[in-house]
Amino acid sequence: MKKIIIAIDGYSSCGKSTLARALAKKMHYVFIDSGAMYRAITLYLIQHKIKIHHEIEVANALKNVHLAFEFYPETEQNNMLLNGVNVEAEIRDMAVSAKVSEVAAIPSVRKFAVAQQQQMGKLRGIVMDGRDIGTTVFPQAELKIFVTADPAVRVERRFKELFEKNKNITIEEVKANLEMRDYIDTNRSESPLRKANESKELNNSHLSREEQLNIAYKWAMEKINA
């Protein structure tokens, strides 16, 4: 059976990674969370007090950033390694979420991450999710899916996720953060978030995880058997 590249794009907290991870597992493909890469870069810049609006300083810092994924059998997930250290928990922190869209909009950061993502896709048989996978990273991807969900649904999902880690978080903070990230993601000059012309749109506002997985899997098999 031929292997394809599946690109899944969409806004924050619309379930892209959940779908991508499940689809990769079902198809025995490699799952790559591109958002985790940008979060890891953001974490590094925060840890080293790099001024994110200073392009040269950021570009120089990237020379010291090494990103990799490591598969953990007990959780059946790829965890993000930053310079050899598992930072999967740290990159989900609200402090990183507040800065990641700004960092991801920096041209040198995007070029750095995109080059690594394209390298990862050379063997095909991957599912990658993000903001510009179908438009910039893999414009040649056989299947492109654009995931959407109602804004209120996205806020509620993100709030539940963050509340487990921080009982002091408010739904207003989450809503403001998502609105800010949406604006930056869609208005940045370098690879803005947009739906590729040939993308299949999947609104999962009222779908279960199993239902959206079945839809995406059906689309994937149609491409493979075409």
Residue 213 lies in a domain: no
Residue 209 lies in a domain: no
| Predicted model pTM | 0.86
Q: How far is CA 179 from CA 63, 79, 169, 182, in A?
A: 31, 27, 16, 5
Residue 156 lies in a domain: yes
Residue 214 lies in a domain: no
Residue 95 lies in a domain: yes
Tokens of 153: 């649904």
Residue 17 lies in a domain: yes
Q: 80 forms bridges with which residues in the sheet?
A: 69
The Cα–Cα gap between 170 and 173 comes to: 5
Q: How many domains, the chain? A: 1
Q: How far is CA 210 from CA 12, 48, 74, 148, in A?
A: 20, 41, 22, 16
Task: Give residue 106's domain range.
Answer: 5-203
Residue 208 lies in a domain: no
Using the CB atoms, write b or e for 61-88: b if 16+ within 10 Å. Answer: bbeebebebeeeeeeeebbbbbeeeebb
pLDDT tens-digit profile, the chain (226 residues) = 899 999 999 998 999 989 999 999 999 998 999 999 999 999 999 999 999 999 999 999 999 999 998 887 777 788 999 999 999 999 998 899 999 999 999 999 999 999 999 998 998 999 999 999 999 999 999 999 999 999 999 999 999 988 888 889 999 999 999 999 999 999 988 889 999 989 999 999 999 999 999 999 999 999 999 8
The Cα–Cα gap between 140 and 32 comes to: 17
Residue 198 belongs to a domain with what CATH number?
3.40.50.300
Tokens of 27: 């198809």
State how far Cα 49 lies from the chain centre: 24
Could you tell me if 186 and 101 are in contact, meaning their C-beta atoms sit under 8 angstroms apart?
A: no
The whole-number pLDDT of residue 189 equals 85
